[in-house]
Amino acid sequence: MSLATFLNKINPRLKKANYTISALLIIILFFVLMVHLSKEVSDLDIWLHLKSGEQMVLYKQILLNDPFSFTKESQPWINHEWLFQILTYTFYNKFGFDGLILMQNIVFIAIFIIIFVMGLRNRNFLFVSAMLFILLLNLSYRFTIRPDMFSALFLVLFILILKEKSKSRYLYLLPFLQIIWTNLHGFFLLGPLVIFIFALTQKNKRLWLVLITSLLATIINPQLIKGAFYPFVTLSQLFKDKFILNFVQELEKPFGLKTLFNLKDWIFYKALIIISLFSFRFNQKRFNRTLFLLWLIFFLLSLSAIRNIVYFAIVATIVIFYNANERFSYDQKLSNEKLTKNKYYYIARLFLILAFSLCMIKNAILNMGCYYYDFDSYKFKSCMWGISPRNFPHKAVDFILKEKLPQQLFNDFNSGSYLIGRSFPLRKVFIDGRTEFYGNNFLKEYKQAAEGDKKTIEGLIDKYKLQGFLLTMCMSNFDEKLAKYLFDNTKWKTVYFNDDAIIFLKNIPENKNIIKKFHIDLKAWHAPKVMIEKLGPKITYPTSFIKRGNVLKEIGCFKAAISEAKEALKIMPNCADAFELLGSCYLALKEYGLALENYRIAVALEPQVLGWRNKFALALYKLGYFREAEMQLYPIIKSRPKDAENYYALALVYRKQNKLKKAENMISRACGYSKNNDFEYLKLWADILLELKDYNKAVRLYKLTQQIEPQNREIREKIRKIEKTL
């Protein structure tokens, strides 16, 4: 029997198998979606939402003034998410944290079902599943329990009604849906925006009526007109002062021109841009200007902020489905005849479905198999369901509540919402995640304090009568400069230190008993001993030890940090971060041989981390291996041509080799690429110019360094000598 005869014989069976496996493909897709949606609760703001919902349910009134902070106490608060907060608290009250995950599953599964139905007209299950999987990968970073998910749901509902039911009575549901959306999330303006796009591009007078009534519907909120205009006020503030755009990570742009073609950054977002744009070319005979305008506006929104990628991804997927449906329906007879008559069609399609199914199953297994080690219980914790203890300073807050620390306690930005959720009404916070409520001026002061500005820190202490500081390390952005200032200041004493936070108390009579009982001398700190017998043979990342070690290093307790790194290596002998920590500490202690030894291992384990290679080169330089240091720095500069630190290191090397012109060239580049006037950079530049006998330029730079450190005697003496020479 020939291959062609065999294929013709089994094609009817393959056709039936294709439909069966296609149905299985959809089941797998939604299973993968549920896996992604069922990860542990880790969002920082959820605690603020839960406590707000609890207060509103308990007292049966909407929060119109801030009850949570002592810095903005009782000031008007436009809480445009009050309905979400009540809904969230209701689920939590009934089912706990798993109830919140269940709510998230319901909302996002509803979104995917609606979009799936939109794409199913051509009955191409493989194509629809592939696009929905790309959508899933684009949305996965925002699979958190936030009011944004309801904005995504309502966006899909609005597009569905406007595209499919614009000539039916369903159109008049939009103003009523708008009322609900307005009280769920501040992105409710997307509703009138979508209606406006359809009204502008279609000949349907009823759309203008629905637009006007939907705009009026936005007034139906607790703050009425103020609430309706609040998003506009917030946007105008962002455009006037872009500080918040840089302060909040989700408001950053996804990429610029330099990273546009970088496949490592936002690859699925970029893929969706290309596919959705190509879909208009694919369906050029039936080009839909409504869909194109909708796509264009949401594309521009996504370019403005990371958080808007979710909305663009939804719109882009819907656009792809409509363009594909119209093209396939236009060429349906022709395409069906050509494809189904091809004897290889069904077997090729079956192979693709099986391959794609395996790809999705692998993705689900990787996500389901996510575990991390809890060094408090010496047990592995699954990343699925429940709450993530590693993302919140639960031990530090337990300590605060148990020991009744002073009320006027500074807390960092990331811990505010958790503090509200755990301690209100017993305690109030300094700051939390409501950036628009606190305003630009307050946030600027907070950031300056976090960056260690002495004047700002002292100003905040006096203004708010601060008696303590809670600085958390659950997230990556620990305020090390503020911690360093407090640690060096004898007025402040450390009373708590662990892998989740460090707490300082003011050394005053009111805090005498707590300080006496809990004071920790971090210079004499020794890492907790690892209980190897409980840990067993499993190798796991030593998170707790690395976190504590890095904090100790930043505040100058190098020997204490070394003890943490050594314990970390008992847990994970090939931990590159531990070797880097050791190298960094030995470099600071001027034990350059040990620094070189540990940095060499760190770089060997993680060669892609170029910052470590810079420190490795610095250790070589300190030991007098100038040529070797130079060879290490060249490839880093080639990879990062605008990294000031590498030019500074190379300038040091050239200076030691007496290549002063080259050294001056390198340090001038370092100062040019440095974001701030760095004292060490300017001083080195001035020193090199002095050696080159360029006295006029040298004295100008020394005077600049003097502005940064007015009390520096060495700089004053050099200026005096140069001026005397001149």
Q: What is the DSSP string of 607-625?
A: TT-HHHHHHHHHHHHHTT-
Distance CA 607, CA 694 (A): 40
Distance CA 69, CA 429 (A): 5
Tell me the H-state helices in 369-467.
394-403, 416-423, 435-450, 454-464
> Per-residue pLDDT for 421 more than 50?
yes
pLDDT of 122: 63
Residue with tokens 């040091």: 652
Give the tens place of pLDDT for each residue, 457-478: 999 999 999 999 999 988 767 8
pLDDT (average), residues 318-323: 92
**CB of 596 within 8 A of CB of 616?**
yes
Residue with tokens 């009568």: 465
> Per-residue pLDDT for 433 more than 60?
yes
Distance CA 232, CA 239 (A): 11
Please give the model's pTM, rounded to 2 decimal places. Answer: 0.88
Residue with tokens 């614009």: 166
Distance CA 648, CA 684 (A): 9
Which residues 6+ apart lie within 8 Å of 130 measured at CB?
Answer: 356
pLDDT of 64: 92
Neighbours of 339 (CB within 10 A): 12
pLDDT of 500: 92
Residue 101, judged by CB atoms within 10 A of its CB (0-12, 13-18, 19+), counts as: buried
Give the tens place of pLDDT for each residue, 567-588: 999 999 999 999 999 999 999 9
Q: In which band, very low, low, confident or very high, does the pLDDT at 68 lie, cut at 50, 70 and 90? A: very high
> Per-residue pLDDT for 423 more than 60?
yes
Residues in a beta bridge with 657: none
pLDDT of 256: 67
Residue with tokens 């290549």: 659
DSSP annotation of 429 reads B
Give the tens place of pLDDT for each residue, 353-392: 888 888 888 988 888 888 888 887 778 888 888 888 888 9
Q: Omega before 393 cis (within 30°)?
A: no
pLDDT of 706: 84
Q: Read out DSSP for 566-619? A: HHHHHH-TT-HHHHHHHHHHHHHTT-HHHHHHHHHHHHHH-TT-HHHHHHHHHH
Phi, psi (rounded to 5 degrees) for 70: -95, -5
pLDDT of 6: 45
**CB of 647 within 8 A of CB of 667?**
yes
Residues in a beta bridge with 76: 65
> Per-residue pLDDT for 521 more than 50?
yes
pLDDT of 239: 72
**CB of 148 within 8 A of CB of 310?**
yes
Tell me, letter by letter, the H, E, C secondary structure of 235-252: HHHHHHCCHHHHHCHHHC
> Per-residue pLDDT for 203 more than 90?
no
The amino acid that residue 49 corresponds to is: H
Phi, psi (rounded to 5 degrees) for 381: -115, 130
Q: How far is CA 171 from the centre of its chain?
A: 37
Residues in a beta bridge with 411: 470
Q: In which band, very low, low, confident or very high, does the pLDDT at 334 lie, cut at 50, 70 and 90? A: very low
Residues in a beta bridge with 593: none
Give the tens place of pLDDT for each residue, 620-630: 999 999 999 99
Neighbours of 711 (CB within 10 A): 7
Give the tens place of pLDDT for each residue, 72-93: 988 999 999 999 999 999 999 9
Residue with tokens 């290490």: 632
pLDDT of 232: 85
In what order do the strands lie in the sheet containing 468-472?
A: 409-411, 468-472, 501-506, 492-497
**CB of 637 within 8 A of CB of 670?**
no
Residues in a beta bridge with 65: 76
Neighbours of 564 (CB within 10 A): 29
Which one, of 663, 623, 631, 624, lies nearest residue 647 by Cα?
Answer: 663
Higher pLDDT, 252 or 181: 181
Tell me the H-state helices in 520-572.
532-535, 543-554, 558-571
Higher pLDDT, 264 or 303: 303
pLDDT (average), residues 445-463: 93
pLDDT of 3: 44
Give the tens place of pLDDT for each residue, 665-722: 998 998 888 877 788 888 888 888 888 888 888 888 888 888 888 888 888 888 888 8
**CB of 129 within 8 A of CB of 116?**
no
**CB of 218 within 8 A of CB of 228?**
yes
pLDDT (average), residues 234-238: 77
Distance CA 143, CA 309 (A): 13
Tell me, letter by letter, the H, E, C secondary structure of 303-337: HHCHHHHHHHHHHHHHHHHHHHHHHHHHCHHHHHH
Give the tens place of pLDDT for each residue, 533-565: 887 777 789 999 999 999 999 999 999 999 999
Q: How far is CA 304 from the centre of its chain?
A: 16
Q: Read out DSSP for 631-648? A: HHHHHHHHH-TT-HHHHH
pLDDT (average), residues 293-322: 93
Which residues 6+ apart lie within 8 Å of 631 measured at CB?
Answer: none
Which residues 6+ apart lie within 8 Å of 233 measured at CB?
Answer: none
Q: What is the mean pLDDT of the chain?
A: 88
Which one, of 346, 333, 355, 354, lies nearest residue 9 by Cα?
Answer: 346
Q: How many CA atoms lie within 13 A of 497 on its CB side?
A: 28
Distance CA 335, CA 342 (A): 11
Residue 702, classed as helix, strand or coil, is: helix
pLDDT of 343: 55
Give the tens place of pLDDT for each residue, 21-56: 777 888 899 999 999 999 999 888 999 999 999 999
Q: Read out DSSP for 348-371? A: HHHHHHHHHHHHHHHHHHHHHT-E
Q: In which band, very low, low, confident or very high, does the pLDDT at 165 lie, cut at 50, 70 and 90? A: confident
| Maximum alpha-carbon separation in the chain | 104
Rounded (to 5) percent helix, strand, coil in the chain: 70, 5, 25
Q: What percent of the chain has pLDDT over 70?
A: 93
> Per-residue pLDDT for 511 more than 90?
yes
